[in-house]
């Protein structure tokens, strides 16, 4: 077994032990086509007030500017799906990814363990870990490495497991046996496009207007939600899962096995009235280690109030 094959075997074996569902590896190169699409998307202001998306353009499109001497981008998928749902059907809804502890910390810890393992087994390996918080085009790298295709809803879809996955990356100065992109299996399906209540997905699919997405309004937008979107949120107060809920490929989703992603005992039991009366103390208790803390108490109350105004208007 040559070194590249051995390194690849060790990487995949340890990633599986750490709980990652799928691993794909691509050669670290300049992303010319992806750079063109990103520039066009930014020029059309589809990032709204997510100004950070325009920062570090060169690093977003060339991983060798993030890790000196980078040879490989390892894309990893970590399942967060759960069939568990909120008990009150009239309660404001929260995206499944935010039920449990903040994924940034849970997965970053696992990535660091994986990198330390490689350094112990291989020797001197230079690399960095990324979980949705740095200038890395994670879905494009996942597509290049063959762990899925980017669907019409712009989510990364695995043909045997769906899209309820966190994506993470290791950029390393180590050679591996590289994977290759797979076919796009969206076909003529338009369920995600048809279901999006704010028309954030382009009519042809594959382009998301981030400035129209419910997740953008409820998480990223810091000012008042535009009144024109009253009645369009389908009761989502943090994030949105609509384009995943309607996707046929998510019939293959299976429950995650990550204890850290289990929701706070009170979260799913809270009624619509509980949410309307939400206090800062309850917010801090229920979301102590949650990604929901990103919107802060004030932001979540704004979102809930917006939904309440919808219901009463």
SS3 content of the chain, % helix, strand, coil (to 5): 45, 10, 45
Determine the Cα–Cα distance for residues 255 and 83; give it in Å rounded to an integer: 7
pLDDT at residue 56, as a whole number? 85
Enumerate residues 6+ apart whose C-beta is below 8 A from 63: 28, 70, 73, 136, 141, 171
pLDDT at 167 over 90: yes
CB 162 within 8 A of CB 60: no
pLDDT at residue 312, as a whole number? 43
Predicted TM-score (pTM) of the model is 0.95
E strand or H helix at 170: strand 165-172
Determine the Cα–Cα distance for residues 75 and 4; give it in Å rounded to an integer: 17
Percent of the chain with pLDDT over 70: 99
Determine the Cα–Cα distance for residues 68 and 127; give it in Å rounded to an integer: 8
Residue 132 known to be catalytic:
yes
C-alpha distance across the termini of the chain, in Å: 68
Note the pLDDT tens digit of each residue in 57-114: 999 999 999 999 999 999 999 999 999 999 999 999 999 999 999 999 999 999 999 9
Q: Among the options 62, 132, 173, 274, which is catalytic?
A: 132
pLDDT at residue 192, as a whole number? 98
pLDDT at residue 310, as a whole number? 44
Tokens representing 70 are 């980078």
pLDDT at residue 35, as a whole number? 92
3-state secondary structure of 225: coil
pLDDT at 134 over 60: yes
Determine the Cα–Cα distance for residues 226 and 209; give it in Å rounded to an integer: 15
CA Rg value for the chain: 20
Across 220-237, average pLDDT: 96
Which DSSP state fits 127?
E
Determine the Cα–Cα distance for residues 185 and 177; give it in Å rounded to an integer: 25
pLDDT classification of 1: cutoffs 50, 70, 90: confident
Note the pLDDT tens digit of each residue in 32-50: 999 999 999 999 999 998 8
- Phi then psi for 18, rounded to 5 degrees? -80, -5
β strands within 3-91, DSSP E: 22-27, 72-79
* DSSP characters over 258-298: -GGGSPPTTGGG--HHHHHT--HHHHHHHTTTSGGGGGHHH
Across 276-289, average pLDDT: 96
User: Considering the chain, what is the average pLDDT of its residues?
Assistant: 95
Determine the Cα–Cα distance for residues 293 and 70; give it in Å rounded to an integer: 34
3-state secondary structure of 51: helix
């Amino acid at each position: 077994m040559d070194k590249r094959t051995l390194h690849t075997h060790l990487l995949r074996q340890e990633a599986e032990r750490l709980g990652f569902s799928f691993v794909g590896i691509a050669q670290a190169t300049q992303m010319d086509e992806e750079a063109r699409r990103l520039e066009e998307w930014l020029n059309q202001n589809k990032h709204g007030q997510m100004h950070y998306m325009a920062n570090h353009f060169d690093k977003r499109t060339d991983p060798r500017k993030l890790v000196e001497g980078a040879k490989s981008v390892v894309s990893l998928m970590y399942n967060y799906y759960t069939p568990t749902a909120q008990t009150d059907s009239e309660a404001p809804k929260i995206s499944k990814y935010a039920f449990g502890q903040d994924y940034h910390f849970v997965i970053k810890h696992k990535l660091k363990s994986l990198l330390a393992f490689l350094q112990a087994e291989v020797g001197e390996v230079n690399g960095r870990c990324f979980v949705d918080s740095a200038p890395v085009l994670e879905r494009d790298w996942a597509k290049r490495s063959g762990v899925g295709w980017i669907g019409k809803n712009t989510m990364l879809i695995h043909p045997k497991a769906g899209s309820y996955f966190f994506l993470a990356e290791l950029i390393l100065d180590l050679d591996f046996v590289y994977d290759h992109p797979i076919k796009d299996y969206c076909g003529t399906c338009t369920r995600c496009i048809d279901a999006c209540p704010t028309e954030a997905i382009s009519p042809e699919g594959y382009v998301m207007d981030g400035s129209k997405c419910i997740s953008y309004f409820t998480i990223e937008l810091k000012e008042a939600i535009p009144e024109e979107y009253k009645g369009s949120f389908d009761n989502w107060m943090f994030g949105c899962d609509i384009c995943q809920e309607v996707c046929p490929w998510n019939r293959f989703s299976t429950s995650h096995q990550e204890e850290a992603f289990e929701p706070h005992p009170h979260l799913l039991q809270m009624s619509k009235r509980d949410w309307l009366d939400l206090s800062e103390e309850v917010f801090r208790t229920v979301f102590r280690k949650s990604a929901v803390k990103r919107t802060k108490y004030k932001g979540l109350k704004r979102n809930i109030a917006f939904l309440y105004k919808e219901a009463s208007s």
